[in-house]
Amino acid sequence: MIISSYMRTEHRACDELFSTAEKSVIDGNFEQAEEQFLLFANDTLRHFKKEEESLFPTFEELTGSTEGPTRIMKFEHEQVRGLIGKMAEAVENKDSDAYLSLAESMMILLQQHNMKEEQMLYAMCDRTIPQDLKESTLEAMKAIKL
């Protein structure tokens, strides 16, 4: 289960950064919130890049399908990217109402997205990708930069 465990750890790390930034917004500490939000955004976007450029193509090639679960996941990534842009604007404007309401939508979206990946997609990857290809995919993902 090397794919699942690596990717799940990344989801958790992003969740942590997300809630730290939210706490700073609630405390009215926007300078800190902006830094923490940027860390969340960068880690999330790098994680998406790992999926879109390495894991998903490997899965698609193996299953012969680009129309299945990976297409839905990529569509959801676009929704998250849109929200990241809006949240960045809200934190920059020190608009805590806007930020917290966007954060609510983001949390629901990410929770559902991550759950689908962990329970279905990553599990399928761990089951179907041969061990050596799993290891090389994992190495390729670790090397991906934003």
Extract the tokens encoding 38: 């940027």
**Which parts of 60-89 interact with Fe ion (CB under 5 A)?**
73
Q: How many CA atoms lie within 13 A of 4 on its CB side?
A: 15
Nearer to Fe ion, 30 or 48 (CB): 48
**Which parts of 41-60 interact with Fe ion (CB under 5 A)?**
51
CB-based contact 6:126 (threshold 8 Å): no
CB of 39 to Fe ion, least distance (A): 17
CB closest to Fe ion, residue no: 117
Extract the tokens encoding 55: 């894991």
Residue with tokens 């404007």: 93
Helix (H, G, I), strand (E, B) or coil at 120: helix
Ramachandran assignment for 29, one of left (phi > 0), alpha (psi -120 to 50 degrees), beta (any other): beta
Q: Quick one: which of 91, 117, 134, 137 contacts Fe ion (CB under 5 A)?
A: 117
Nearer to Fe ion, 33 or 141 (CB): 141
Nearer to Fe ion, 14 or 90 (CB): 14
Size of the site for Fe ion (CB under 5 A): 3
CB of 105 to Fe ion, least distance (A): 17
Q: Which residues bind Fe ion (CB under 5 A)?
A: 51, 73, 117
